[in-house]
């Protein structure tokens, strides 16, 4: 008996698990990776659902699909898939994809540095990978421009009251709240359930009350939230925990007040945070910013240039971090499987 679908994937993490599909998906039409992403979303969303839902996935998992690049300067393209959306850019996933391409030999590795460009849905992403003894020990990428949209905005959040937030773009729109507004929360793993509850409520309130607009991506709104605060880690400057939605938030349904915590320091979230700090005069160009995640690992960012994005004054960030391959898998879809798109159950899913 033949299988209905077969996918080959490399399992990789930077704290956050970030699967990379290297084979099994047929030709995807489009003149750019962005167009390919939109085609996949409209015509073959089964790939995302199969890879991210049970039994092949679980709420914190992200997934990337390697595709041939459309831009002549790129060596490869990649489509990013998360539980509720197709982001045009993701930092941790970019680090994961670059690591897989190099460590599996899909592109040649040169030591001590390999430099190349990838095509994300957001466009060309410059990669500089530090390589040692056949291993990628650090990936630094030049991201798309980041910018602040709202600074110190006060929103009304059910269950929480008035909350002060920033909103920034770093490849996705983030609502960012200082965790010190909630004296019962610490940014540590054993507070994960409460972090996700508070973050999901803030996300929904920001979506309802704070309009955003990106000149290149009409209709894209705030889709992700970040709690942020100081750290006592001497190897970091600031700490954050990002909550990725696993479904829409409904204020009338407490079962939806949840999400999956990003287990890594979050690349695009770091870019959004740096953009808001720069807009407030608290982070200068070329000043290192070491951002700690919930597991104590760090990504290091720099703002290298000021730019204009539509009506917004923005900055071009770089992010550096590491990812680790932990497995290789072949996933299949049996034609008699009663759940051809996977499944979710309310004990761990929104």
Q: One digit per residue, pLDDT tens: the chain, 350 residues?
A: 689 999 999 999 999 999 999 999 989 999 999 999 999 999 999 999 999 999 999 999 999 999 999 999 999 999 999 999 999 999 999 999 999 999 999 999 999 999 999 999 999 999 999 999 999 999 999 999 999 999 999 999 999 999 999 999 999 999 999 999 999 999 999 999 999 999 999 999 999 999 999 999 999 999 999 999 999 999 999 999 999 998 899 999 999 999 999 999 999 999 999 999 999 999 999 999 999 999 999 999 999 999 999 999 999 999 999 999 999 999 999 999 999 999 999 998 88
114-165 pLDDT, tens digit each = 999 999 999 999 999 999 999 999 999 999 999 999 999 999 999 999 999 9
DSSP state of 180: G
| pTM higher than 0.85 | yes
The residues spanned by each domain of the chain are 5-143+324-333, 146-316
User: Which tokens is 28 given?
Assistant: 């995807």
By CB atoms closer than 10 A (0-12, 13-18, 19+), residue 57 is: buried
Q: Reply yes or no on domain 5-143+324-333 having CATH 3.10.310.10.
A: yes
CA atoms within 13 A on the CB side of 81: 24
Cβ neighbours of residue 290 closer than 8 Å, sequence gap 6 or more = 235, 236, 237, 238, 298, 299, 300, 301
Residue 209: which of 155, 160, 262 has the closest Cα? 155
CATH number of 146-316: 3.10.310.10
| Spatial separation of the C-alpha atoms in residues 179 and 185, rounded to whole Å | 7
Domains 5-143+324-333 and 146-316 share a fold: yes
Cβ neighbours of residue 38 closer than 8 Å, sequence gap 6 or more = 30, 86
Q: Which residues are catalytic?
A: 90
């Amino acid at each position: 008996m033949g299988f209905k679908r077969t996918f080959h994937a490399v399992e990789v993490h930077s704290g956050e698990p970030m699967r990379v599909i290297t084979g099994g998906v047929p030709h995807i039409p489009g003149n750019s990776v962005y167009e390919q992403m939109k085609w996949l979303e409209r015509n073959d969303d089964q790939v995302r659902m199969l890879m991210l839902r049970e039994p092949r996935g679980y709420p914190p998992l992200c997934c990337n699909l390697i595709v041939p690049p459309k831009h002549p300067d790129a060596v490869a393209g990649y489509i990013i898939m998360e539980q509720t959306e197709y982001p045009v850019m993701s930092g941790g996933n970019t680090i994961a994809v670059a690591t897989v391409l190099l460590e599996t030999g899909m592109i040649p590795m040169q030591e001590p540095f390999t430099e190349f460009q990838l095509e994300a849905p957001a466009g060309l992403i410059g990669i500089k990978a530090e390589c040692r003894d056949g291993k990628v020990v650090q990936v630094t990428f030049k991201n798309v421009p980041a910018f602040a949209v709202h600074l110190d905005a006060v929103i009304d959040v059910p269950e929480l009251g008035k909350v002060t937030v920033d909103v920034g773009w770093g490849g996705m729109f983030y609502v960012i709240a200082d965790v010190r507004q909630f004296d019962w929360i610490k940014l540590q793993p054993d507070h994960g359930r409460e972090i996700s509850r508070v973050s999901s409520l803030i996300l929904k309130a920001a979506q309802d009350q704070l309009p955003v607009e990106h000149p290149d991506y009409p209709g894209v709104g705030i889709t992700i939230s970040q709690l942020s605060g100081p750290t006592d880690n001497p190897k970091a400057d600031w700490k954050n925990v990002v909550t990725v939605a696993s479904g829409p938030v409904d204020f009338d349904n407490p079962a939806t007040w949840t999400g999956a915590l990003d287990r890594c320091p979050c690349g695009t979230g770091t870019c959004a945070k740096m953009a808001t700090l720069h807009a407030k005069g608290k982070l200068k160009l070329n000043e290192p910013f070491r951002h700690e995640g919930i597991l104590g690992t760090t990504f290091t960012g720099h703002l290298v240039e000021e730019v204009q994005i539509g009506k917004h004054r923005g900055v071009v960030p770089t992010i550096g971090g590491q990812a680790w391959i932990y497995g290789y898998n072949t996933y299949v879809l049996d034609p008699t499987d009663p759940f051809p798109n996977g499944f979710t159950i309310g004990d761990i899913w929104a």
